[in-house]
Chain A
Amino acid sequence: MKKIFFLGLILILSCTSKPSRLPILGDKSPIEKMVKGKKVIDTLYKTIPHFHYLDQDSLSFDNSKTKGKIYIADFFFTSCPTICPIMQKNLNKLAEAFKSDSDIYFLSFSIDPAHDTPKRLKRYQSQLGVHNTHWFFLTGNRDSTYALAEKGYYVTAKSDTTAPGGFVHSGAFILIDKLGRIRGTYDGTLDEEVEKLSQDMAILKNEKE
């Protein structure tokens, strides 16, 4: 009898267990909405604010192009002598693994737009050996980029004449879901965190909204 009870319990638990979901990061606030005629309290999550840049092909790129896409964002500059080479090398590994998936984008924002023109970014993309056509190297207003990094993606990016290369910035890869919400932040210089990101991308892909 006991064996039947425990077997039943295991079966019930396995049927009702939910797939894992990634947390939703950032600011949130309560919001009222009507569901089936009843007022309920839901949660409004922070989303990435509007941005507008030029990509490596000098084409306009803004948030509308990421709607419905999962994407990884990072901040770098092409003449960076410190963390960027390992970051972009690691990001390229991910980009290569997901290059056939048109629902996954990669966005690299330049924090040195004075030097990182679209032409220079195009050359960098080629020299890095990028084959993923959904990886966009973006350049635009410098101050807007610093603000977007800090307030939009919660990472550091700013000028610093004492730093190697003249800038200081985070080595983070930020995972954004189809609704523009932050779902994870990973150290792009560490192999184990890049591997975790790869696994989380797969989890996010399988999430139902």
Chain B
Amino acid sequence: MNKSILKLSVIIAFIGLGLSLNACSDSDQQKGQSINNGMALFETNCSACHQKDGNGLAQLYPPLKNSTYFKANFEKLPCIIRNGLKGSITVNGNTYDSYMPGIASLSPAEIADISNYVRNSFNGLNQYTNTDEVNKTLATCVQ
């Protein structure tokens, strides 16, 4: 009887381990998919000004890649994407004061994808946001 229970426990443990590993893979897959979606959305909506490589354009449009401003303000990105940005900012030691229009048509899910792309592919932050977090942030935007 004890041997049977032991065998059953081992089997259940392995099943549990397998399920948890599978869950981790799904999460990594979701993160990867979000970044891929984000790249496509970035190229459509953001690259005209910030350029496909994220390096910005002269002193007109700031870089998003390896950006000191972004790293210090990444939580604000949903509000910036939704409502735009006015006023002077300093990025990597340079001052930019062009007006950035907001893109009201992007959904919270799309904003999350763009944010994940910029955080990870451009700034190596290894951070991920999701639609719920973006919705919470958007509710606090100051216009």
A16 beta carbon closer than 8 Å to chain B? no
The digit string for A69-81, where 1 denotes a CB below 8 A from any CB of B, is 0000000001101
The size bracket of the interface on A is 10 to 19
Q: Which A residues touch B49, using CB under 8 A?
A: 81, 85
The size bracket of the interface on B is 10 to 19
- Residue of B58, B98, B101 near A165 (CB, 8 A) is B101
Given A81-B49, A128-B59, 14 more contacts at CB 8 Å? A79-B98, A79-B101, A85-B48, A85-B57, A85-B60, A85-B61, A86-B48, A89-B58, A124-B60, A127-B59, A128-B57, A129-B58, A164-B101, A165-B101
Residue of A nearest to B61 (CB): A85
Task: State which residues 28-77 of A face B: CB under 8 Å.
Answer: none
B99 beta carbon closer than 8 Å to chain A? yes
- Report the minimal beta-carbon distance from B94 to chain A, rounded to whole angstroms: 10
> Are A129 and B101 in touch, CB under 8 angstroms?
no
Q: Which A residues touch B48, using CB under 8 A?
A: 81-83, 85-86
A126 beta carbon closer than 8 Å to chain B? yes
- Report the minimal beta-carbon distance from A125 to chain B, rounded to whole angstroms: 10
> Are B60 and A127 in touch, CB under 8 angstroms?
yes
For the complex, give the distance between the alpha carbons of A82 and B44 in Å: 10
> Are B98 and A127 in touch, CB under 8 angstroms?
yes
- Report the minimal beta-carbon distance from A194 to chain B, rounded to whole angstroms: 16
- Report the minimal beta-carbon distance from A149 to chain B, rounded to whole angstroms: 21
- Report the minimal beta-carbon distance from A116 to chain B, rounded to whole angstroms: 12
Listed by A's residue number, 6 A-B pairs whose Cβ atoms lie within 8 Å are A79-B98, A81-B49, A85-B61, A86-B48, A89-B57, A124-B60
- Report the minimal beta-carbon distance from A58 to chain B, rounded to whole angstroms: 20
For the complex, give the distance between the alpha carbons of A78 and B48 in Å: 13
